[in-house]
Structure 1
């Protein structure tokens, strides 16, 4: 089997270029080193629109990078959980050699279909280690708790009132882990900051996010850590009319500074380009199953705004470095909050 060599791309450029990727077909002919990889036919399945400038957009950017390196690619978007099994079987029927589902809500269906199709390679996303993984499935472990340990350090150093708010969408195990990781960061840094977590019930409902954020601000929180998709705009809107320095808000997945205003402190960003490329390389080399953990060296970055005091950025960088080198072990605690 021909080995496909992957190269690094800037995520911003990929997000811009990915909008031109057709939903079926692989575009122009690759040249040079990129002419390899013709044996890879990849189908990706996304839960939302790929132009969301959020989780699905970064998935498409990674797929676009694989296309640039010679793979034939296609994708489905806005796929609901009840429809995922049918879409997976369609992708198998279309002759794809690799099928990637972008979102942990698809993991169980991906494994199920993989068991029925042992000659096809599958890539699923999961939060933790998937038990009894089939021989033809890779998982990308998103490890959201690692990033939120860093966000805990970020928020604790920003807060002046001693109260930090967390605004999530659905109260799922990974979001519980995010809250516990922030609490661990508070405790280990010696901070007396109190964390107030809330869930709106929808990752994309901006109106509810604004309502819940306003309530947190009224209760004394001056830093809001967001764990939302398109609902993040609601957390920004809650700060409208407030003077500079009256509080801070953060976002998840992508840089959302253009929509956030002067209260934007930064974002916990994810890039699936290298993880997907690494897993595809493993598959081509003959390793068809395994777990690929995301972390501060593999796709996770805390992007701190220039408006934030430099000592806060230093504290965040130091915490990230300690997680990277193993000095700090962030616990995966998915126990229910509240």
Structure 2
């Protein structure tokens, strides 16, 4: 089984199994975490990724950590392409090396990761996870890319740009991290173009551009004139067939200036900044950091139209601006729907 197939719960670990990694004897005290760090000392941070640095999701973590490193706030080391069956070993090595904050994504190695955290109560762990933090494991916090706000706004734009009212959507796996973004996007589309049909497919991988591209070709052949590019490879197919695409997590318009209309961007900086501050203050505890990906927290945004400036209807962009304002002031809430999206 490849790293991609195993990454978020497809390595034989049931995603629906209740985590009991800490066990009865692993109840920890938050007092084990360092009470303070001298302000002038950069925090030692390490990260463990199961995919390449350039993969969309991981690239956001890597970018935010490097920015903090450049500001002198942290020392930062990272390892990419770590196999799930090797993840625990790398975690332990980084903990033994004196790193005080360890980042990563443990969707396929939940039990092992939490067991490591239980063995190193003086190290803070901030991990991408579908599960919630456990108060019995106070040095292990979770996060995820809750960018449904920006995904919804990108759907408003897509609804105005599709002419065939047929949109293709290619995702990695039908799990909450993907489903909620697809569903928010579809909700935005339907608000502008309620008669739109969707072709939804999952490629069973987090990083397989050729497979994503072939899946996108099939959807375009079936009438899609706009693609939701949740995976790398989809925009390549859209470019070759001269249809449009909407991006996810990162902005790739520079590479596809005539294809990618807009993207829902994830900004990991607020999440990381919160964790760094808590570790330095000695107040890090088991928390769900997912909220720091919300638009009102600065965790996501809609990319500029760039090369598509003036090509999206003016009334649509006014609607986008109004909805963005409402999201930020709390008068409108985008639904978080983790159910698997279906073709229609």
Q: Report the TM-score range of the alignment, normalised by the length of the smaller protein.
A: 0.7 to 0.9
Among 115, 119, 132, the alignment partner of 1:116 is: 119
C-alpha displacement at 1:89, in angstroms?
0.9
Give secondary structure in 2 for the equivalent of 1:75: strand
- Is 1:252 equivalent to 2:270 in the alignment? no
Contact 1:107–1:124 (CA under 8 A) maintained in structure 2: no
Among 89, 100, 104, the alignment partner of 2:92 is: 89
- Is 1:295 equivalent to 2:294 in the alignment? yes
Q: What is the aligned partner in structure 2 of residue 336 from structure 1?
A: 340
1:1-150 to 2 correspondences below 5 Å: 36-38=39-41, 40-50=43-53, 52=54, 54-67=56-69, 68-102=71-105, 104-105=107-108, 108-127=111-130, 129-130=132-133, 132=135, 134-150=137-153
Distance 1:223 1:304, change over 3 A: farther
C-alpha distance in 1, partners of 2:194/2:50? Answer: 38
- Is 1:317 equivalent to 2:321 in the alignment? yes
Q: What is the aligned partner in structure 1 of residue 217 from structure 2?
A: 214
Q: Which runs of 5+ in 2 are unaligned?
A: 1-37
217-226 or 103-112, which deviates more: 103-112
Distance 1:274 1:171, change over 3 A: same
182-191 or 282-291, which deviates more: 182-191
Q: What is the aligned partner in structure 2 of residue 266 from structure 1?
A: 262
The total of aligned residue pairs comes to 296
- Is 1:281 equivalent to 2:280 in the alignment? no
C-alpha distance in 1, partners of 2:253/2:192? Answer: 27
C-alpha displacement at 1:75, in angstroms?
1.5
Distance 1:159 1:190, change over 3 A: closer
Distance 1:128 1:86, change over 3 A: closer
- Is 1:240 equivalent to 2:240 in the alignment? yes
Contact 1:153–1:189 (CA under 8 A) maintained in structure 2: yes
Distance 1:37 1:97, change over 3 A: farther
Superposition RMSD in Å: 2.6
Contact 1:84–1:106 (CA under 8 A) maintained in structure 2: yes
